[in-house]
Chains A and B, each alone.
Chain A
């Protein structure tokens, strides 16, 4: 029972991180039907920005956190402007390939930067780790609490933006029908840029949280979490915001349990389950079944 509980807590921790990343994927997909393969690398950028500001500029942690989010928001907007906007009206596969190119560029580029470099960096211990006993021998650390709380706060803010602000409404409109939104006078390019910015923000936050929870930084640290979050987003129904959250958390929890039980084949089992689910719900758990008009 205790094992179960502590693994559940671990799962929630990584799961909320995945959820933040998955949200970025799902929002961009919802609005321009693009799987931004470079999204995972924004995590890495966020981590390093926070790392560098704390270690080299002595910036306090909360400020570093905000800096990371800001930087990644900017990076997201740049990505869109330079690589994806020119391909807006071209077949989606081309944008996909470009996204992969952007991803590789960011990863290898970062590797070549002297202050990032190929070797691992260690994220500074800014949050002194303290454990709080929960139930019998099960502990929860302050890092974990911070993680979940920050993630939830961000998700609530996102929800507010989407449901209660004008820009949020514009985002929803564009994701439903881009052409119609244009005709309604919505500046579609601006809305898309904002979406990338928000997605980038969340990825940056995820990056910092990851740096705190798993302090080993490398230029390629965003690849696997990005992939897993992407799978989680599809699993939950790509384009669906609650789906991304559900998918992300589920992915984190299942992955933690699977690794604890069968560490070797955990990944394989997960993908088998994923494919099985897709066969029964081809548009993901909470996705909208897209009926094609005959």
Chain B
């Protein structure tokens, strides 16, 4: 089995360990609801950031409407859970869990479908114009859901059963990131990168540029839908105001700080940028000001390559010590 490399086994073990630890703390009642909540939101943001990375970081298409697809995923999955599959508090476990999966899948698929339909005309646009079009689409989604009364309209979609727990969120984050990573590290991902680097050269080499833009867009939006669905079933609410272009910009921020084209960067950035503002909670007002300043400094001074070098150096140091102590 080729994927059972040492690196992969180590990563898998690490993730499993973290999960078991968290789950253990949770069961022992040592993890407050609040902390658990933040962790889950951070993981959901990680899915969003990695998926936006596919569109903007790897395929080079500037999209600031990602939250719109989140909205589609949230609402459609919630509709499935509440209306189609009728999941409620007294639904037995055996049916509840598969039903959740089906709903999430439906939401993701819906988001992907919408992305595909929108992508075909709008991905012909370039740069700032594409940005505006995606922004426009985002706002259209918000207005749409604000006016659909059967999903709550301006009051939002309430009464969504709380089906998202750590296992679901963590599990789906791992699966989503894995799928996206495998896509990127393949000839398909390479062709998306070719599109980003030089569309004309790519086209001359036989890369169907439009097809790959749409592919990246659709795939990424699928997972944005997953994230939306997970969030809706965590908050037990889906409200149009959660999915405005401001949320899209939030995700873009996380992407840029983590480094475009870097999946581990996106994950770490999402985790840090979700948790950090919460840590600054001591002063609500101050945090709102510090956060953008940090962002500006981060972009201008670009500490990421420096940070990466430092962490790499530390890793080397630790590895050397380990080998010294215990042999190779």
Q: Does B179 contact A (CB under 8 A)?
A: no
Main secondary structure of the interface of B (DSSP, over half): helix
**Which chain B residue shows the least CB distance to A99?**
B296
| Contact of B133 with A102 in the complex, beta carbons under 8 Å | no
- List of B residues within 8 angstroms of A279 by Cβ: 121-122, 124-125
| Contact of B253 with A234 in the complex, beta carbons under 8 Å | no
In the complex where A93-B256, A282-B125 touch, is A102 in contact with B139 (Cβ < 8 A)? no
Cβ-defined partner of B62 (8 Å) among A93, A98, A102? A93
Could you give, for residues 129-142 of chain B, a 1 whenever the CB lies within 8 Å of some chain A CB and a 0 otherwise?
A: 10111011101100
**Which chain A residue shows the least CB distance to B144?**
A268
| Contact of B136 with A275 in the complex, beta carbons under 8 Å | yes
| Contact of B289 with A265 in the complex, beta carbons under 8 Å | no
**Which chain A residue shows the least CB distance to B64?**
A96
- List of B residues within 8 angstroms of A98 by Cβ: 295-296, 299-300
- List of B residues within 8 angstroms of A1 by Cβ: none
| Contact of B300 with A108 in the complex, beta carbons under 8 Å | no
Could you give, for residues 178-212 of chain B, a 1 whenever the CB lies within 8 Å of some chain A CB and a 0 otherwise?
A: 00000000000000000000001000000000000
Q: Does B147 contact A (CB under 8 A)?
A: yes
Q: Does A156 contact B (CB under 8 A)?
A: no
Interface size on B, residues (CB 8 A): 39
| Contact of A101 with B200 in the complex, beta carbons under 8 Å | no
- List of B residues within 8 angstroms of A108 by Cβ: 285, 288-289, 292
- List of A residues within 8 angstroms of B286 by Cβ: 112
A14 to chain B, nearest CB (A): 18
| Contact of A294 with B200 in the complex, beta carbons under 8 Å | yes
In the complex where A97-B295, A101-B295 touch, is A87 in contact with B139 (Cβ < 8 A)? no
Q: Does A292 contact B (CB under 8 A)?
A: yes
Q: Does B10 contact A (CB under 8 A)?
A: no
| Contact of A275 with B289 in the complex, beta carbons under 8 Å | no
Q: Does B114 contact A (CB under 8 A)?
A: no
Complex: A234 Cα to B136 Cα, angstroms: 12
| Contact of A238 with B121 in the complex, beta carbons under 8 Å | no
Complex: A61 Cα to B249 Cα, angstroms: 38
- CB within 8 Å of B: which A210-239 residues: 227, 231, 234, 238
B104 to chain A, nearest CB (A): 27
A101 to chain B, nearest CB (A): 4
Main secondary structure of the interface of A (DSSP, over half): helix
Q: Does A167 contact B (CB under 8 A)?
A: no
A287 to chain B, nearest CB (A): 9
- List of A residues within 8 angstroms of B293 by Cβ: 101, 105
| Contact of B252 with A87 in the complex, beta carbons under 8 Å | no
| Contact of B200 with A271 in the complex, beta carbons under 8 Å | no
| Contact of A271 with B296 in the complex, beta carbons under 8 Å | no
B185 to chain A, nearest CB (A): 23
Cβ-defined partner of A275 (8 Å) among B137, B260, B288? B137
Q: Does A188 contact B (CB under 8 A)?
A: no
Cβ-defined partner of B300 (8 Å) among A83, A109, A112, A292? A83
Cβ-defined partner of A101 (8 Å) among B121, B128, B299? B299
Complex: A109 Cα to B260 Cα, angstroms: 29
- List of B residues within 8 angstroms of A104 by Cβ: 288, 291-292, 295
10 further interface pairs, Cβ-Cβ under 8 Å (given A94-B299, A282-B124, A284-B129): A87-B300, A100-B249, A100-B295, A102-B296, A103-B292, A227-B245, A234-B129, A274-B133, A279-B124, A294-B200
Show 14 residue pairs from A and B whose CB-CB distance is below 8 angstroms, ordered by the A residue: A100-B295, A102-B292, A103-B292, A104-B288, A105-B292, A111-B285, A234-B129, A271-B136, A271-B137, A275-B121, A275-B133, A278-B122, A282-B125, A282-B126
B residues engaging A (CB < 8 A)? Answer: 56, 62, 121-122, 124-126, 128-129, 131-133, 135-137, 139-140, 143-144, 146-147, 200, 245, 249, 252-253, 256, 260, 285-286, 288-289, 291-293, 295-296, 299-300
